[in-house]
Amino acid sequence: GQNIDQPTEMTATEGAIVQINCTYQTSGFNGLFWYQQHAGEAPTFLSYNVLDGLEEKGRFSSFLSRSKGYSYLLLKELQMKDSASYLCAVIWNQGGKLIFGQGTELSVKP
């Protein structure tokens, strides 16, 4: 199947760094997205990786290893407003179907 695995919950402290991992089935992989979703709101786009390596965008970075079927989202200088669900989503075989992982609920504490 197109299994996408990410931790269900994580807790971190304001000002710290947190890494949210995502693993997926590699067969037919064509790109990986990270979205942030606050409770009761729509998902908002954070990053897109299709090639191996690190993509940096301000406090957020995303890494991809295609051969390992692995990605992570790195959040630096955590703020309280970063408390949200972080969704790893994969596109397979150019079909345009975006399949989401279960999401990681991040709680940032003072």
Partner 1 sequence: DTEVTQTPKHLVMGMTNKKSLKCEQHMGHRAMYWYKQKAKKPPELMFVYSYEKLSINESVPSRFSPECPNSSLLNLHLHALQPEDSALYLCASSRGQGINNEQFFGPGTRLTVL
Separation of alpha carbons 59 and 56, rounded Å: 8
Taking the complex as a whole, the smallest distance from the CB of residue 80 to partner 1 amounts, in Å, to: 21
Taking the complex as a whole, the smallest distance from the CB of residue 81 to partner 1 amounts, in Å, to: 18
Specify the residue, 63 or 86, whose C-beta has the smaller distance to partner 1. 86
Q: Cβ distance 22 to 35 under 8 Å?
A: no
Specify the residue, 15 or 95, whose C-beta has the smaller distance to partner 1. 95
Taking the complex as a whole, the smallest distance from the CB of residue 61 to partner 1 amounts, in Å, to: 17
Specify the residue, 33 or 63, whose C-beta has the smaller distance to partner 1. 33
Taking the complex as a whole, the smallest distance from the CB of residue 56 to partner 1 amounts, in Å, to: 17
Question: Applying CB under 8 A, which residues contact partner 1?
Answer: 30-31, 33, 35, 41-45, 48, 50, 87, 89, 91, 94-103
Q: Which residues contact 63 (CB under 8 A, 6 or more apart)?
A: 49, 53, 54, 55, 71, 72, 74
Among 61, 45, 60, 41, which Cα is nearest to 98's?
45
Specify the residue, 13 or 44, whose C-beta has the smaller distance to partner 1. 44
Number of CB atoms found within 10 A of residue 37's CB = 16
